[in-house]
Amino acid sequence: MVIDDGGATGVDTVSVSVKERELITLSLQPANNPDEVVIFGNSTIDETGPYTKEIGAEAWTKNGNPVVLRAVFKFNLSSIPPTSIIKSAKLSLYSHPAPINGHHSDEVRANYGSDNSMLIQKVTEAWNPETLKFNNQPSSSPTNQVVIPSTNKAFLDLVEIDVTQLVKDMTGSNSNYGFSLRLQNEVYYNSRIFASSEYSDAARHPKLVIVYAQ
């Protein structure tokens, strides 16, 4: 409304419509992911390497020596524009039906132990799957980590675990070094074993679903 010097008024109306950003869903479940490594051993025993049928988190013994099993893996996020806003990110890991590692004495179990609680963390430095070894494994951060509670179930798929903040950290800082899996307390005998992207059933490969606005 405007008023002139004679006191006369004029009124007009303006309407502004704000268009919401388009939401995009990106589903990633690669087969034979080259950026996927099992870290296995200790400072002197090292069976670390890519191209394995399983990933997971474990503390066990080998020939009487304590060893741990961890995993690092990453998804290709290059299709997400840098100006995008991450709305949600859900990670799914599926129990390996016939794990190579872990408990086998009385029954086959992907999960074992009195405290097999597990951590999903963001890896904080670059790594090469072909040269990664136990003694040069990349660091990971407890910031925004996801704690997976212990379970006494022999098999338990982790479906749509909320890793939104971890993915925001990866894309926001342009430092996608992937995820790390490890037991919360690496005390043997405890294990959580999952199918890797090399596993024969593609439906059980690690899966990441991201919803973002652009």
Task: Render pLDDT for 121-145 as a digit per residue (tens, 0 to 9).
Answer: 999 999 999 999 999 999 999 999 9
pLDDT of residue 73: 98
Q: How many helices (H) and strands (E) does the chain have?
A: 1, 15
**Residue-level pLDDT at 103:** 85
135-185 per-position pLDDT tens digit: 999 999 999 999 999 999 999 999 999 999 999 999 987 799 999 999 999
pTM: 0.89
Chain centroid to CA 185: 19
Here the tokens at position 76 are: 């290709």
Burial of 192 (0-12, 13-18, 19+ CB in 10 A): buried
Which two tokens mark 52?
A: 């394995």
Is 21-213 a domain of CATH 1.25.40? no
Confidence of residue 106 (pLDDT cuts 50, 70, 90): confident
**How far is Cα 98 from Cα 107, in angstroms, rounded to an integer?**
10
Residues 6-50 have pLDDT tens digits of 666 777 776 665 566 799 999 999 999 999 999 999 999 999 999
Per-residue pLDDT tens over the stretch 40-85: 999 999 999 999 999 999 999 999 999 999 999 999 999 999 999 9
pLDDT tier for residue 102 given thresholds of 50, 70 and 90: confident
